[in-house]
Amino acid sequence: MAGIVGYGAYIPRNRIKVEEIAKVWGADAPSYKKGLMLEEKSVPSPDQDTITMSVEASKNALRRAGIDPREIGAIYVGSESHPYAVKPSGTVLAEALNATPEVHTADLEFACKAGTEGMFIALSLVQAAAVKYGLAVGADTSQGAPGDALEYSAAAGAAAFIFGQDKLIAEILHTYSYTTDTPDFWRREYQYYPQHGGRFTGDPAYFTHILGAARGIMAKAGMKPADFQYVIFHQPNGKFPLRAGEILGFSRKQIDPGWLVPKLGNTYSGSSPLGLTATLDIAKAGDMILLVSYGSGAGSDGFIFRVTERIDEVRNLAPRTRDMLDKNKAYLDYGVYAKYRRKIRKAK
Amino acid sequence: MPNPARAWREYPQRYRLEAEKCTKCGTIAFPPRLVCPQCGNRKFAKTKLAETGKLLTFTIIRVPPDPFEDQAPYAVGIAELEDGVKLTAQVVDCDFAALKVGLRVRLEFRKLSEEGEAGVIYYGYKFVPE
């Protein structure tokens, strides 16, 4: 049986509130807060990017896994904000972890689903016994165009998972993928900001794929919503995952532990993976967890986990996700946020 | 023409805090040296620096050199790590008012500088409050 050996999260300390963004664009903050169910979002410092957050999240995963990094045979970084267009993020990560040179590395992109893509591939290599351990990271420093609805949610964070066949903290019982060609959100080469299809991102995109993958994996496993202690859906805003849960028959009690988005924003490739880290932080042996990611373009990956007793030994070996979310925050005004996110055009 | 080679040679130190320990007197050399500055011995064993320590001193840089222009003002400090090594690095994620001698810090992986918008990005360690 293959599964998760260690997990780790990283969330930058900077935040900006919905009111601060709305004030600049003359938008109605209360309606955004109610409509999107968002209060604030994380913002990376100028010296943080997908690579630095991937390194920190992976180090936390290594602390919990307690393995030699040289035993990691595959490293995948899923992101839509890799710092280089050409040159892998994964090589910097592998070098920083001391996992080089006997390691297979690739960068993945699939809007918000790139993190679970990496998880899917790393897990498959472990199941095939091609590698002893595989590391997958979902990380993003997402950009929303100034004034666009996405600016209220596009956030930063990373989650890392090490997969293996021994020392498991969660077994993976089933996986499932649901993919179609649905152009709801995209960014062309050399474009700084993405574009999206507005309301088209809802029913034909997010909901079709999330519900399709959730129903598909539950049918495959012969399980129903009541069989799970926890469920995590991709969180582009606060409302979508709650509505998906409601349609499928999940309760708030199952959703809330991994529902980070109101205070975190949408961390894109890190979104549902970070929800999983927060859920593992409180899970008990025997708990069943359903994770369904979503990436525009479009597709969803589903995973069913069964938590093992080792979770109690490892959860306090690295910072908990909710602590990173709730403690030591620094609030930015829009001017500093615009500078940090390079939204201001300079002379050189 | 960009020259990424110099930074690349320093990756073991900047990425992984790799140091060398004198096999005779135990002095830790960071970055590694050919000759021990304490006893003149030429044999070292590989070691890794501790990732936590306490701040010995600090200053605020308000007029920075070119690669750090956008980061000013920023703090630079010297911390004594758990293994006794004194290390200089930026201190980030910390309000200046909270900086004080004795502050517990740990090392985090951060972007140090970049060669403009098209050049190589250099990564390494910085201090953050523990």
Please give the domain boundaries of chain A with CATH numbers for all domains: 3-169+316-340 (3.40.47.10), 170-311 (3.40.47.10)
Same domain for B105 and B72: yes
User: Token pair of A133, please?
Assistant: 């351990």
pLDDT band at A184 (very low <50, low <70, confident <90, very high): very high
Same domain for B124 and B73: yes
Same domain for B79 and B127: yes
3-state helix, strand, coil in chain B (%, to 5): 15, 45, 40
Using a CB-CB distance cutoff of 8 angstroms, which residues of chain A are in contact with residue B98? none
Same domain for B77 and B62: yes
Would residue A8 be called left, alpha or beta, if left means φ above 0 and alpha means ψ between -120 and 50 degrees? beta
**From residue A252, how far is each of A137, A203, A310 by CA, in Å?**
27, 21, 27
Using a CB-CB distance cutoff of 8 angstroms, which residues of chain A are in contact with residue B108? 52, 56
pLDDT, tens digit, 9 for 90 and up, residues A130-167: 999 999 999 999 989 999 999 999 999 999 999 999 99
Residue of A45, A55, A95 lying closest to B92 (CB–CB): A45
Other beta carbons less than 10 A from residue B49's beta carbon: 20
The verdict on residue B107 lying in a domain is yes
Distance from CA of A9 to the nearest CA of B (A): 14
Smallest CA–CA distance from A83 into chain B, residue: B121
Distance from CA of B16 to the nearest CA of A (A): 6
The verdict on residue B1 lying in a domain is no
| ipTM for the assembly | 0.96
Bridge partners (DSSP) listed for residue A98: none
pLDDT, tens digit, 9 for 90 and up, residues A44-100: 999 999 999 999 999 999 999 999 999 999 999 999 999 999 999 999 999 999 999
Q: Residue A206 contacts by C-beta under 8 Å, 6 or more apart in sequence?
A: A184, A234, A236, A240, A244, A294
Task: Compute the count of residue pairs across chains A and B with CB atoms less than 8 Å apart.
Answer: 47
Q: Total domain count for chain B?
A: 2
Residue of B11, B71, B126 lying closest to A95 (CB–CB): B11
Q: Hey, are the CB atoms on B110 and A84 less than 8 Å from each other?
A: no
Question: Does residue B74 contact residue B61 with C-beta atoms inside 8 Å?
Answer: yes
Structure-derived torsion over alpha carbons of residues A271, A272, A277, A279, reported in degrees to the nearest 10 = 130
Amino acid sitting at position A202: G
Residue range(s) defining the domain that contains residue B26: 18-48
Question: Up-side HSE of residue A78: CA atoms within 13 Å toward CB?
Answer: 30
The verdict on residue B2 lying in a domain is no
Catalytic residues of A: 80, 112, 234
**Angle, alpha carbons A245-A251-A253 (nearest 5°):** 120
Task: Return contacts of A32-35, CB within 8 angstroms, 24+ apart.
Answer: A32/A149, A32/A152, A35/A239
Q: Indicate which CATH number applies to the domain containing B75.
A: 2.40.50.840
